[in-house]
Structure 1
Amino acid sequence: MSQYIEVGEHRLMVLGGNQNQPGIPIIFLHGITLSANFWIPNLPAIVRENIPWYSLSLPGHYPDYYQPELLTADMLADILMSAIQKLVGKQQVALVGYSTGGFAALNLAAHFPSQIQGVFCISGFSQGKWHGFLGWLQRQAQNGVMGKLFCKMLCKALTLNQASYKLGCSINIGDRKAYWNAPTLETTVDAVYPDVIKHNLNNIVDLFEWFADMDISHLLPKIQAPTLILSGDRDPVIPLAQAKFIASQIPESQLIVFEGMGHMFFAERSLAYQNLLTSWIIEKKL
């Protein structure tokens, strides 16, 4: 059952489970253009059955239709921490973030180091200039009114139906066979698509533009929490070099590289990811 949290003018969606179970809550943060429902088909059994968890939507994504004049890394950290504290108070949490959600997790851990017990960053970044097709879209969003209009038209075309959405996402893969044959591709698209088509595209293209100017590289050494970084060596959006840089800057970090994986971990390496997350939870005693 979803609920909504108001943080200032922003309205964020929250899903969760096992709130009465002992343990450190895990906060899941999705990637750009996705939704809080992204994580539902991608939770390993240990989380679904035993761990208190929440999936929190990012600002600018459905159901958040508020259009600020600007969003910075500092503002993003404050919004998300306010939402987290409305859920769990001052209790420490662990963070699992994918892509832009990975950036958000690192950003939270750097801004609020005493509040974060652990970070699992999947295909995340510290500097928001993307590569590949998403990077090209991002540059269109930076190119004035006409560029943003073009970007919105492309986003609309790629979300006309689930087939076009899956095809659009396939631009970001490294392992085509694994992606198209993954059962989790269908379940994940089924979960997120109803939310994706409700996004305000004005918000989405603004986020594309704003993230290009975000850089928390200088803040990474402030992260105190043990940080596990997962990357694919064929990621066209966030190159492996970015993951290696992040790992080099965080005092207690570990980098895991999945060979052949692109940016769509949930379909390209679903079982390996779930096993890795399960091992991380057990090792860190979450």
Structure 2
Amino acid sequence: MTGFSPLPDLLLEPLVRAALIEDLGPNGDVTTRSVIPASTRYRAKLNAREAGVLSGMQLAAIAFRLVDPALVVTQHRPDGSACAPGDLLMEIEGAAASILSAERIALNFAGRLSGIATLSAAFVTQAAGTAARITCTRKTTPGLRMVEKAAVAHGGGFNHRYGLSDAILIKDNHIAAAGGIAAVLTAARARVSHMMNVEIEVDTLAQLAEVLAVGGADVVLLDNMDTPTLRQAVEMVAGRLVTEASGNMALPRIAEVAATGVDYISVGALTHSARTLDLGLDF
């Protein structure tokens, strides 16, 4: 996926700055300072060591520039683009000590987020040919939700709600505490803004039937249903609500779930179980 408008550096710099402060600690990069003369200059190349979809390249560039604004950073591949082994992704030229001090944080962000984008792209591929959209969840690394959700989008996926404040998602514990499906939907509709959607989770077709009878929901989350039950649920909804399948959404199952006609498939693994993509910085 390409053509994404990057997030403003203003939003990303605090994340990168915090990571650099953690890594440099109170004494800075003592190894580099001890063995590399300040006058040494190098051109380093950030290369892909395996195929994937890139994300976090913008954060990597910010890491180098925060350590040393004099570094010249040339980005050859944008976030959202595919890469193959050996592809040149970025060049960094300037003080060798500065490049070395920023290297690990730059690679941590780029590798982690590219792993999320690559896994997201694999899930999206499995849903190809259907109307189902792959979406992430709130199962993100604390403090990194913004960039991890961006990485899902770089891989062709879609974002679920960002946090607790931008949509109503009524889950099983809300239903239990509120006194049932009818009570919880009535309470939600009495308080919700006309600009905010209401989604409710159901585990059974009987619960789905009650949601349809009561009304008040915009989206129904079909949780931990097997594929035949999901197909029945979509038939029952008959386009009246947006449908989202969730729970046990492993990669080998996505094609058959997408074929049931659900509108969205939410996958926590996109952000909590993605493997880091192998990228390397070479002098």
> TM class by shorter-chain length?
under 0.3
**Greater helix share, 1 or 2?**
1
Normalising by structure 1, report the TM-score: 0.26
Larger Rg: 2
